[in-house]
Chains A and B, each alone.
Chain A
Amino acid sequence: MLDAKTRYKLIPYAFLGIPVTIYLIWIIGPMLYSFYLSFTKWDGLTAPKFIGSKNYQMLLQDEVFYISLSNNLEWIILFMTIPIALGLTLAMVLNRDIPGAKTFKASFFLPMVLSLVVCGLVWSWLYSPHSGLINEVLRRIGLGDLATGWLSNPKVVMEAVIAVAIWRQVGYVMVLYLAGLQSVDQNLLDAAEVDGASAIQRFFNVLMPQLAPVTVIVIVISIIDSLRAFDLVSVMTRGGPYNQSSVLANFMYIEAFNNYRMGYGAAIAVIIFIISLMFIMFYLTRIAREETNA
């Protein structure tokens, strides 16, 4: 029989036991195996062959890797600005008692529920150069010069796909901010107003700090979503034309499953993992500081 103190020490491990075991077996194990695979050449059929860092060397010389990387960066930047601005604005507007607020909220959230396949399909039709709605509208309002094959013109294809992702994301960010606004201390805002703070000052100096925890979550989710962006690209362009809309996750999937270069794909996955970690580091270090201070 263990003494009470030891038993107390074991309690947290007991709670963690099952989840950690499952996680180790199904996620961490396969993940480490993938790390190993990134140093091999593997077609998914026969035994992996160890080739050292060759996959990484090839990757660094692969033009598609750089295209994908910069597309991902663009995705992150657009994802951290537009949906947050729009989502926050909507949340603040819809948080007031305006008629039909619920309908508005539901409307903006609806794209989030719609399956990605349907989103991708419908937007491809909207983007169609010949009869697509967007080009039709542009021609009607005299901006016909802007009409283009949105998904075939290498100059705009990436933005066209990201626009759809933003269309889905805004409602999600809005919901998160609506949640955050519930716990905002109204007294502070009122006090600031009495003190003569302008609306802009109140927004940046009083409201935003209170919403900071939600913003952190939104940013973390945006970064993860951007780096894992896959489905929309895969449905709408498969990275085309000639890789101009390729993103890392897609690049990895095509190499691993379409081209059957599992080792190479694993190397790309490791890179995605490292980049995600770098981006998320600011959050993790915050946690770490919190741990030591606590």
Chain B
Amino acid sequence: MKNKIVISVLAVLFVLGMAPLFAGGQQEGATEGAQAAEQDVVVYNSYWSDPEPKRVEAELMEMFREQNPDSKVIHSTVAHEDFKQAIRAYLTSSAPPDVLTWFAGNRARFFIDKGLIMDISDVWEEAGWNESYAKGFRAMSSVDDKQYFLPGNWYWWAIYYDTRVFDEYDIEIPETWDELMAVCEKLKDNGVTPFTVGTKYRWTAAAWFDYLNMRVNGPEFHINLMLGKESYDDARVLKVFNDYWGPMIDKGYFVESPASYAWAEAIPFMTNGDAAMYLMGDFIRDSYPEEDLEYLDFFRFPIIDESVPVGEDAPTDGYFIPKNSQNPEMAKKLLKFFGSKEVQEYVAEELGRLVTNNNVDTSVYNENQLKGRELINKADYVAQFYDRDTTPEMADKGMNGFMEFWQNTDQAEEILEKLEKSRQQLFEE
């Protein structure tokens, strides 16, 4: 009796369970049929999973549909971290998405060198990008003078600070290292922790390494280190750790237990006055509480050695087309759309990021964007960011090294030896 009930329940479950499968299968068949008839489907996968960029992208897709009523865009957003893992499946599948978001520079180059990315020199030519994009961006997108990538937008890194705290203690913006150290000392004396930082996901620590290494040893050395051409146990690297970074940590210039916090979880230290500064990218604005936003400002990472060229981090994101794209025509059309003045202006206005097309009217930028743009324009060299400039595997080892150093500031030498071992292993492979 009881068994009969269970059997009937299981039977119902079975029917319920299998029905959607067939329904789903049919639906799939139907859309595929429609696709075949239409021919103009473009599949676009992006990693813009933050709330604001996600909204803007949805609006862009709507715009594209309006402009191209005969075509169909299938747009999927994939979580940023997940996307980085999924991309290898995308690029090697027989039916990859037609357009993908990706990082400019070394990380794009990696796939281009493997022959997985479509040559889009024709798009650059037709869209007039060769003229309307700065040389730097063009070079970033080219291999052997052929273009494979479209840079979309970028942002800058700087030291962000709360103007209320600076005003209260009558602090001037520090321009040199000594000035910065004096500011830290003053803040410390007044019971304010100079810097907040949340290093749970490690890259915030990498930003400190990027800047200290570029300021102390210059961007050229830094980039060569990123490319595996310099060694981590070099005395110059050790100097960064033992003479600059370590003392800051030892003197308590950073909040306690930073590894417990994700980067945004460390923001409240700033808004409630416990800490004063944060070395961060401009996206900090998206997470900063609205009522405190007017007190948030930034300044350039102070100069340590005046004889060294100035390097800044300004990560650039963009798009490319996988080699196996099923519909390259439409993919290129979508790419042209992303690179157009109109879309770029829209992104600049809505997202507060900086865009790449020179034809964009600078009046779309607000004061903050203009200040950031100037910061980067004044730089002698623009780097992408630690985990974009070096290889993913080296970045992983390196960032672990930074975390270990943060905990054990007296072991710089041992840690760098370990990193050097990894570098030899990873770059020799």
Residue positions of A touching B, CB distance < 8 A? 41, 43-46, 58, 63, 124, 127-130, 148-154, 237-238, 240-243, 254-255, 257-261
Contact A45 B200 (CB under 8 A): no
Residue of A nearest to B111 (CB): A45
Residue of B nearest to A151 (CB): B260
Given contacts A150-B260, A151-B260, contact A241 B85 (CB under 8 A): no
Contact B396 A152 (CB under 8 A): no
Task: Tell me, in angstroms, the Cα distance from A260 to B429 when the chains sit together.
Answer: 13
Residue of A nearest to B422 (CB): A62
Given contacts A46-B114, A128-B261, A242-B404, contact A259 B392 (CB under 8 A): yes
Contact B259 A240 (CB under 8 A): yes
Which residue of B116, B257, B401 contacts A149 across the interface (Cβ within 8 Å)? B257
Residue of A nearest to B265 (CB): A128
Beyond contacts A129-B260, A149-B256, A258-B85: 19 other A-B pairs, Cβ-Cβ < 8 A, are: A43-B88, A45-B91, A45-B114, A46-B114, A124-B260, A128-B265, A129-B256, A130-B257, A149-B260, A151-B259, A152-B200, A152-B260, A154-B407, A240-B200, A242-B400, A242-B401, A258-B392, A258-B396, A260-B88
14 contacts between A and B (CB under 8 A): A45-B114, A46-B114, A63-B418, A124-B260, A128-B265, A130-B257, A130-B269, A149-B259, A152-B259, A240-B400, A241-B403, A255-B393, A258-B84, A259-B392
Count B-side interface residues using an 8 Å CB cutoff.
32
Contact B418 A260 (CB under 8 A): no
Contact B256 A241 (CB under 8 A): no
Task: Tell me, in angstroms, the Cα distance from A43 to B406 when the chains sit together.
Answer: 31
Least CB distance, A90 to chain B, in whole angstroms? 28
Complex contacts, A258 vs chain B, CB 8 Å? 84-85, 392, 396
Least CB distance, B401 to chain A, in whole angstroms? 7
Least CB distance, A112 to chain B, in whole angstroms? 21
Contact B393 A261 (CB under 8 A): yes
Given contacts A150-B260, A154-B407, A240-B259, contact A260 B392 (CB under 8 A): yes
Task: Tell me, in angstroms, the Cα distance from A261 to B427 when the chains sit together.
Answer: 12
Least CB distance, A97 to chain B, in whole angstroms? 23
Residue positions of B touching A, CB distance < 8 A? 84-85, 88, 91-92, 111, 114, 116, 199-202, 256-261, 265, 269, 392-393, 396, 400-401, 403-404, 406-407, 418, 425, 429
Given contacts A63-B418, A242-B401, A243-B400, contact A257 B85 (CB under 8 A): yes
Task: Tell me, in angstroms, the Cα distance from A150 to B111 when the chains sit together.
Answer: 39
Complex contacts, A153 vs chain B, CB 8 Å? 257
Complex contacts, B88 vs chain A, CB 8 Å? 43-45, 260
Task: Tell me, in angstroms, the Cα distance from A254 to B84 when the chains sit together.
Answer: 12
Least CB distance, A233 to chain B, in whole angstroms? 13
Given contacts A242-B401, A242-B407, A258-B85, contact A152 B258 (CB under 8 A): yes
Task: Tell me, in angstroms, the Cα distance from A128 to B266 when the chains sit together.
Answer: 11
Residue of B nearest to A63 (CB): B418
Task: Tell me, in angstroms, the Cα distance from A45 to B85 when the chains sit together.
Answer: 12
Least CB distance, B273 to chain A, in whole angstroms? 14
Contact B92 A259 (CB under 8 A): no
Least CB distance, A53 to chain B, in whole angstroms? 15
- Among A45, A149, A261, max chain B CB count under 10 A is at A45
Which residue of B257, B265, B393, B404 contacts A260 across the interface (Cβ within 8 Å)? B393
- Among B111, B259, B404, B429, max chain A CB count under 10 A is at B259
Task: Tell me, in angstroms, the Cα distance from A62 to B257 when the chains sit together.
Answer: 27
- Among A41, A130, A148, A151, max chain B CB count under 10 A is at A130
Residue of A nearest to B82 (CB): A257
Task: Tell me, in angstroms, the Cα distance from A216 to B260 when the chains sit together.
Answer: 38
Task: Tell me, in angstroms, the Cα distance from A130 to B92 when the chains sit together.
Answer: 45
Task: Tell me, in angstroms, the Cα distance from A257 to B269 when the chains sit together.
Answer: 34
Contact B114 A240 (CB under 8 A): no
- Among B88, B114, B260, B269, max chain A CB count under 10 A is at B260
Complex contacts, B258 vs chain A, CB 8 Å? 152
* Top 6 A-B pairs, shortest CB-CB distance: A149-B257, A152-B259, A259-B393, A242-B404, A149-B260, A152-B260
Task: Tell me, in angstroms, the Cα distance from A149 to B199 when the chains sit together.
Answer: 12
Given contacts A45-B114, A152-B258, contact A240 B403 (CB under 8 A): yes
Complex contacts, A237 vs chain B, CB 8 Å? 200
Least CB distance, A240 to chain B, in whole angstroms? 6
